[in-house]
């Protein structure tokens, strides 16, 4: 199923956030890395945010390209491409909002599906 793949997506986004925090000039504080889950405009949203170095505006779309990496000498440049492909295969979107020196927020938006009916629901 897709559960292990989404686990890897979250792992990649969290690792990237930790790398951004490690690259920042000050030591990370509690709350500098957050994972928030909720509903946004009728879709399920998972947001991974950090208070790290941020991503320049002109690079924000390139980071999803295969083999592109902002980490010189580290990483294959495939992590965010993998994340975007997994999310899009589930009919979702992966987007980023970032400002230099103010961190980044990666947002996964997924369609909500109806869960299985409760056993007490009357048959149709």
Which string of DSSP letters, residue by residue, matches 5-64? HHHHHHHHHHHHHHHHHHHSSS---TTSEEEEEEEETTEEEEEEEE-SS---GGGTTGGG
CB 14 within 8 A of CB 108: no
Range of the domain at 50: 3-111
- Say if 92 falls within a structural domain: yes
In a domain? residue 124: no
pLDDT (tens digit, 0 to 9) for every residue of the chain, 124 residues total?
678 899 999 999 999 999 888 887 777 777 799 999 999 999 999 999 999 899 889 888 888 888 777 665 556 667 899 999 999 999 999 999 999 888 999 999 999 976 655 455 555 5
Task: For residue 15, give the CATH number of its domain.
Answer: 3.30.565.10
pLDDT at 60: 86
Query: In this predicted structure, what is the pLDDT of residue 79?
Result: 84
Residue 58 within a domain = yes
pLDDT reported for residue 35: 96
In a domain, 57, yes or no: yes
The tokens for 111 are: 């369609």
Query: How many domains are contained in the chain?
Result: 1
Residue 61: the pLDDT is 83
What the block records as the tokens of 118 is 């409760």
94 closest CA partner among 44, 33, 55, 20: 44
Q: How far apart are the C-alpha atoms of 31 and 12, rounded to whole Å?
A: 19
């Amino acid at each position: 199923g897709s559960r292990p793949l989404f686990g890897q997506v979250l792992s990649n986004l969290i690792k990237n956030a930790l790398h951004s925090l490690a690259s920042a000039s000050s030591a990370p504080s509690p709350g500098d890395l957050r994972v928030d889950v909720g509903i946004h405009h009728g879709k399920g949203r998972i947001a991974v945010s950090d208070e790290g170095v941020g991503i320049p505006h002109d690079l924000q779309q390139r980071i999803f390209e295969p083999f592109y990496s902002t980490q010189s000498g580290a990483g294959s440049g495939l992590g965010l491409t993998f994340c975007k492909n997994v999310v899009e295969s589930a009919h979702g979107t992966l987007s980023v909002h970032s400002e230099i020196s103010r961190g980044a927020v990666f947002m996964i938006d997924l369609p909500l599906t109806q869960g299985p009916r409760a056993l007490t629901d009357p048959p149709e």
